[in-house]
């Protein structure tokens, strides 16, 4: 019998969050009024988020970091939150990955300057998918792990093989995409879909996966979001596509079943930063799966977790136990899914 825990793998990144008064024009100046070093990247963020949302759930990390101060920050943060670090290995071949995250004070919009570092070297040899404490295996971000994304002559890649092994070990599989230009995204993701129970994506990433051009700021209705998620699911997903966007989220299963939930109506003055909201959404959804919630309840916890994460410029520091997140979201109310 497996436990209810979550095995979290992929990008372990140290974020240096810098809040600026405005986004400057080239060769002009903006003022930084806050600097915070914290967790970043899909694996690091979701591990920290789950640890805060559900302290009772075992969380184990798998990844590659540098033998440096930033790598030690990763290990110390995980240990402080009770995240298992036995699967987080160190290398002298590259530094720990880091990102400079620039957040505008008023709008909350953020821009990322990223150094791949050790994450670029993460491959299948670094993975042990046998821990008996876990029921879920998560890997992210697809499209930002070159050694695992690279396809061979058969069209397979390391990520797809890991998902297949995880399923054979009795694990539910989940993955997230990265919001970055990538002309080979479809080539890298499609081999994974037959072995994925859950694929998290936003509307921009979904459009890129489908070979469509879409502005990150373009409005999206629930009908359009459902069409996008349906088109991605039609590429061959094993389980379901869970698409989150500003107005809420939709879930489309391989059998065509659709669920949706409007975003929490967070007052503008309570939005301190949007960095990590997508990862908080995914973490809430994964906690719901581990707690055996149905699809409607899973989407509700996901949007509530994302809403709470907006209360800080860091990715995870605002999060609290999932019951409190639900209470907070229900108190504020939800957007209509008829938009």
Q: Give the C-alpha separation, 66 to 48, whole Å.
A: 19
Residue 232 lies in a domain: yes
- Between 307 and 178, where is the model more confident? 307
Q: What is the pLDDT of residue 1?
A: 42
Residue 28 lies in a domain: no
Average pLDDT of the chain to the nearest whole number? 95
Q: What is the pLDDT of residue 185?
A: 95
Domain total in the chain: 1
- pLDDT tens-place string over residues 189-213: 999 999 999 999 999 999 999 999 8
Residue 27 lies in a domain: no
Q: What is the pLDDT of residue 329?
A: 98
Residue 170 lies in a domain: yes
Count the alpha carbons within 13 Å of 290 in the hemisphere toward its beta carbon. Answer: 30
Residue 77 lies in a domain: yes
- pLDDT tens-place string over residues 2-45: 578 999 999 999 999 899 999 999 999 999 998 989 999 999 99
Q: Tell me, what CATH number does 259's domain have?
A: 3.40.1190.20
Residue 274 lies in a domain: yes
Q: By 3-state DSSP, what share of the chain in percent is helix, strand and coil, each rounded to 5?
A: 35, 30, 35
- Give the mean pLDDT of 257-273: 94
Q: Give the C-alpha separation, 8 to 58, whole Å.
A: 11
Domain residues for the domain of 300 are 5-22+35-332
- pLDDT tens-place string over residues 130-141: 767 899 999 999
Residue 29 lies in a domain: no
């Amino acid at each position: 019998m497996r436990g209810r825990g979550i095995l979290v793998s992929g990008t372990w990144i140290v974020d240096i969050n810098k809040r600026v008064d405005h986004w400057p024009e080239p060769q002009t100046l903006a003022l930084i009024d806050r600097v915070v070093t914290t967790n970043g990247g899909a694996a690091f963020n979701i591990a920290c988020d789950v640890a805060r949302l559900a302290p009772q759930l075992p969380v184990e990390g798998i990844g590659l970091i540098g033998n440096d101060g930033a790598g030690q920050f990763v290990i110390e943060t995980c240990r402080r939150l009770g995240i298992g670090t036995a699967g987080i290995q160190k290398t002298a071949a590259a530094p720990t990955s880091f990102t400079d995250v620039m957040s505008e004070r008023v709008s909350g919009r953020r821009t990322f300057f990223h150094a791949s570092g050790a994450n670029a070297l993460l491959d299948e040899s670094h993975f042990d998918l046998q821990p008996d404490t876990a029921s879920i295996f998560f890997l992210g971000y697809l499209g930002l792990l070159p050694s695992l994304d690279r396809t061979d002559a058969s069209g397979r890649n390391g990520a797809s093989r890991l998902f297949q092994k995880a399923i054979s070990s009795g694990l539910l599989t989940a993955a997230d995409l990265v919001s970055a230009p990538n002309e080979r995204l479809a080539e890298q993701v499609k081999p994974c879909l037959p072995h994925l129970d859950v694929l998290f994506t936003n509307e921009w990433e979904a459009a890129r996966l489908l070979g469509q051009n879409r502005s990150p700021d373009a409005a999206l209705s629930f009908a359009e979001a459902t069409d996008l998620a349906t088109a991605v699911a039609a590429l061959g997903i094993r389980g379901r596509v869970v698409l989150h966007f500003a107005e809420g989220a939709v879930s489309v299963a391989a059998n065509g079943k659709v669920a949706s939930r409007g975003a929490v109506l967070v007052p503008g003055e309570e939005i301190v930063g949007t960095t990590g909201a997508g990862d908080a959404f995914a973490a809430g959804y994964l906690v719901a799966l581990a707690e055996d919630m149905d699809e409607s309840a899973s989407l509700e916890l996901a949007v509530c977790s994302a809403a709470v994460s907006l209360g800080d410029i860091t990715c995870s520091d605002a999060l609290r136990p999932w019951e409190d997140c639900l209470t907070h979201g229900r108190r504020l109310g939800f957007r209509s899914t008829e938009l």
